Structure 1
Amino acid sequence: MAEDTEERTTRGPGTVVALHEVGVRRFTTGQVILDGVDWTVRAGQHWALLGANGAGKTTLLRLLGALMHPTTGTVEVLGELLGRVDVRELRARIGHVTTAQRVPGELDAHTVVLTGHTGTVQPLWRMYDEEVRQRAHELLAELEIKDLADRPYGVCSGGQRARVLIARALMAEPALLLLDEPFNALDLPSREDLVEAMHRLAAGRPRLATVTVTHHLEELSPAVSHALLLREGRILSQGPVEDVLTGPWLTACFGRPIAVNRHEGRWWAYSGRQTPGSA
């Protein structure tokens, strides 16, 4: 089963990512991880990427981040075709946020953001002039955590760390920001702080494209415009959120009855019988 709820396009004005007939197979076993993936992300779009564990979400995000190559098909990111570009240079133009990032806990938040300028774990102080240092402060302010500038990263809360990592990723002025389960293990206040931060970020950067991997609709900000559902390595549905994040599609994606509701731009879902007014 597959559906493309928007007219399928590939390269064109504002194209940030274009995947065509992409397949990924595990070299050692031949296991199919992704199969026949066609997907276009344009400037200013904010995508949610959902699917059960093992559906291929992490692999798809790694392709977008130029961290691996497809087995078949083509992947174009920021106008560059994987296999014909120095991926080290391409990665420097992509913002990638994951809770698995190695960050020395003793570094203060401002220094962690600075390392985004050089793409390093440890700071390279000779590379940070006054303009770069000021930019790091401005990004902390944009994410509303400027008061954390001198606080060691290791003692920041989970939500604070997530926003520090986003600020770090933005140091390279990326056109594409990839977020791999940024809400992982956050409590309710921290989750809501991060949701609000993502909403402000989208409003303040109209050309920025984002892709967020999540397991929970409650983590999506009202700025999320599109969604893609993966099931067993294939696209089940993709397009505007109002067409994709529905009870029937999520039921098909996760294999159990799911009811979906939306209020003031926010989503929530639960497994159970469909209720009046559900999407």
Structure 2
Amino acid sequence: MRFEIVHQTVYRFHRPVELGEHRLMIRPRDSHDLRLVEATLQIEPPSALRWVHDVFGNSIALASFAGRHDGLSITSRLVLERFARQPQSLEVDPKAACYPFAYGASDRLDLGATTRMEDPAGRDALRGWTSGFLPGRRAETLDLLTRMASAIRAEFTYEPRAAEGTQAARETLRRRSGTCRDFAMLLIEAARHLGLGARFVTGYLYDPALDPQAADEPSAPIRGAASTHAWAEVYLPGAGWIEFDPTNGTVASGDLIRVAVTRSPSQALPVSGTFLGSRNDAAGMEVTVRIRAIA
């Protein structure tokens, strides 16, 4: 499918302030499952822009400003093609098809920090939760991960939260509620607790119900499509990085539009930056995301 995505972030201030450097993580990279056709970026006031790759290889824009301003508007427009994953691409190496299994030496080295929990203090809570999916202590690996993602969708309450930050997995387990990034981190920490490599993904989620040009609406409500979205990827030999969206209980969905992958949610902010002034100078921020399928 071909999509158009317009993502706008607007900051307002009560008086003119000096804007510090802003970091923008809003441009995806071309791959076999995603082709970037067009990408435009409009920033007001004008900025000096430079592009870099972060430690994960994500495309990052750094915007610098001169003078004082009472607002900042950042509008990204993307046109891209998303290619759905074919079922045969989910074939896991026979040595990893049943959990538990051990990664090969090369994979262990390269996966590195993606196998280490962000919050080791939550291991007991995760042990209790994940054990419910392993009654016989063994399971088909892909099925195990799919059942955990589906359980989050079915048993946890989705509660959008404007405040920055991500709950620790043990807090999400205690509250039984959270945002898409909380649910992604719960699944990531559960996978890491089980010794698997997992990483955080930020991007967008297409919902036909929000697209006036779509012919059909989904049979089940889609959660998290009105703004940026977050999900998890888990590495399984043979199949590679597999996308799990615990907010909606899906696996390898073609409606997930990846922008960047990181080890931790704190590294995946779409827009971040500073200004010189008092906290009271900030008048508010508004973020809008519009996604539509196009011919």
TM norm structure 2: 0.26
Q: Tell me which structure has the larger Cα radius of gyration.
A: 2
TM norm structure 1: 0.28
**Which one has more relative contact order, counting CA pairs under 8 Å at least 6 apart?**
2
